Amino acid sequence: MINVAILGYGTVGSGVFEVIRTNKESISKRVGKEIRVKYVLDIKDFPADDPVNEVLCRNFDTIVNDPEVSIVVEVLGGVEPSYTWVSECLKRGKSVCTSNKELVAKHGAELIALAKEKNANFLFEASVGGGIPIIRPINESLSADEITEITGILNGTTNYILTKMADEGLDFDSVLKDAQEKGYAELHPEADVEGYDACRKIAILTSLAYGRQVDFEDIYTEGITKITDADIKYAKALNMSIKLLGTSRNIDGQVYAMVCPMLIKKEHPLYSVKDVFNAVFVKGNMVDDLMFYGRGAGKLPTASAVTADVVEAARNLGRTLPIIWSKETLELGSIGDFQHAFFVRMTSDTEKEAAEKAFGAIEVVRLEENTEEFAFVTPILKEKDFQKKIKDFKSVNSVIRLNAK
């Protein structure tokens, strides 16, 4: 028998408990031994008929000091006390499986190294993409490839908001309120709508793809709060859609990363990803284009990914699975050297001649209901060159980058 402890009985923790109980027989067959949840740590009280009461634990020390517990599931969220508790578990030789993107983004390399030192595992499939398998494919299935690009819709809340704005012609504030009422957005949604959540996730994927630590603080990040219904209309006129993308690219040995709203063409596989769904587009130098798609959040999809890590850890007790992610920092390329075309909206049509002079062969975009405004797409430019030129214009309403693919 292999004993598991779960730290936290919130949405994901209760999901993991449910998955292990419901699929106990098939999970145990895959492992070759019975998997049992011995403890669930939480300070809250639960209804008398909740089966968690049979294994409820109030004290972390009980778990970390129990030699019968081989695997710990951390689903508390946040950096503390998660970091301290996960570190203590790994030091005792207990494998840890987590969905905690904040923890992984900040301390992933350190915790992987600690797990290796103690012949344990630190696994985090659910930290990016919820139920979408993406961590293990990058770490294992694509190990023969050099990854040249990762671009993803990594946040379901923002994708839902942009989808509703596009499909129903609603403004940002109205859709955000709707998302909050449906439970897709938090009361304080800054982590989602300002792009911080997606930033941590692309930092994790980039660190894995290139084997060195990428600090999320170093990644240029821009959210969707400035996207308007007018921007959506222009996107349709261009036969494009606006998505919040986390992207990293290896260009001639230099890795660039950023998170921001981008216009993508209909031909791009991410174009049709709607509502709360997530998707990750990966390009390898041998395998070429791959797409991973599914529910990026939610109780059972995320719990399924966490439990799959539990199975993997149970199969490899006493043996560390190889994950190449060193503590050495990967120095990202300057965002100023990253190249895009840019969509620009200006208040007045009088800026056309100046825009052509500054940017060269621009593509003018017209809306029948907005004849006074002047909008155009630039040629592909380095970010620093565009920013230098656009400073000379005083009537800029909006700027959105175009995905290069």
Q: What is the set of active-site residues? A: 201
Contact present, 75 and 7 (Cβ < 8 Å) = yes
Contact present, 213 and 329 (Cβ < 8 Å) = yes
Selection from 177, 172, 183 nearest residue 228 by Cα: 172
* Residue carrying the six token digits 């390009």: 283
CA angle 202-208-210, nearest 5°? 100
Cβ neighbors of 184 (< 8 A, separation 6 or more) are: 156, 157, 160, 276
d(CA 44, CA 239): 50
Backbone φ, ψ for residue 323 (5° rounding)? -130, 120
H-state helical runs in 46-155: 60-64, 82-91, 101-117, 135-136
Contact present, 275 and 294 (Cβ < 8 Å) = no
Amino acid, res. 205: L
CA angle 377-255-200, nearest 5°? 90
d(CA 129, CA 343): 29
- CA neighbours closer than 13 Å in the CB half-sphere of residue 99: 33
